[in-house]
Amino acid sequence: MSDSPLLPAVSKFLRYLGVERQLSPITLLNYQRQLDAIIALASETGLKSWQQCDAAMVRAIAVRSRRNGLGPASLALRLSALRSFFDWMVGQGELPANPAKGISSPKAPRHLPKNIDVDDVNRLLDIDLNDPLAVRDRAMLEVMYGAGLRLSELVNLDIKHLDLESGEVWVMGKGSKERRLPIGRSAVTWIEHWLDLRGLFGAEEDALFLSKLGKRISARNVQKRFAEWGIRQGLHSHVNPHKLRHSFATHMLESSGDLRGVQELLGHANLSTTQIYTHLDFQHLASVYDAAHPRAKRGK
């Protein structure tokens, strides 16, 4: 596929997403995987250039994807990536119109992600602090659950993003949207413990959380460490960063019932395309957090 005539335009599009749109590496990888699969399917039909692609070809790609076992949710993601690519091609003057624009995505069944109950979260956080990396992991777990961060937001935290006196962090979310979040006293305490030990792994990096080699910790490393701690602590379900984020949202909603406040804390612009939520000021968000989160109790 490396010599496909369809590849150069896709490579330019991915550079655009990375440089101009500044999408996260994880999002870029998802785009690349979907578009690589599309190129493979389109090449099987004999497509030599994107200018030859029409609505019938897009439907053929969708049908082939389904026959290859792709589920409705994954197919919707694939078609979304293709529509975004064609929109970019239209903007570049390479196509007169988007051939995927009229192709509807299949309705995917909605499954709520599983969350970890409060007792199991407390058990997960009560880890054996027998080495500095365990202290780091405790701090990461506390911040992830305490603020409901995305994995990319956690690994991209720098020391300068902390305001420990007020118990807040600044994060850069999707679409380069910055938000200020309360993290709770427990998370602040464990960040302070980690900062006392962080110098053991090098002090040149701006990153808050470092690997044992002194570099910014990778998303894959965080996923691996969280899963390992879940097993060590005897949790029956697999532990991953997204499940902790979902647990944050679930526990906050159960305690507060404030859907809009929780949505702002999570950094969601919309929960669906048909709903528009009003912007809430930070003081309200902080009060929602303090009143509802089981590990909040921020210092005054």
Active-site residue numbers? 150, 174, 242, 245, 268, 277
Give the CA distances from residue 92 to residues 10, 155, 157, in Å, rounded to whole numbers and listed in that order.
12, 34, 34
> Do 175 and 148 form a contact (C-beta atoms < 8 A)?
no
> Do 261 and 249 form a contact (C-beta atoms < 8 A)?
no
Measured from the Cβ of residue 51, the count of other Cβ atoms closer than 10 Å reads 13
Measured from the Cβ of residue 167, the count of other Cβ atoms closer than 10 Å reads 25
Measured from the Cβ of residue 224, the count of other Cβ atoms closer than 10 Å reads 12
* Position 6, amino acid: L
> Do 187 and 237 form a contact (C-beta atoms < 8 A)?
no
Measured from the Cβ of residue 226, the count of other Cβ atoms closer than 10 Å reads 22
- The token duo for 61 is 């790609």
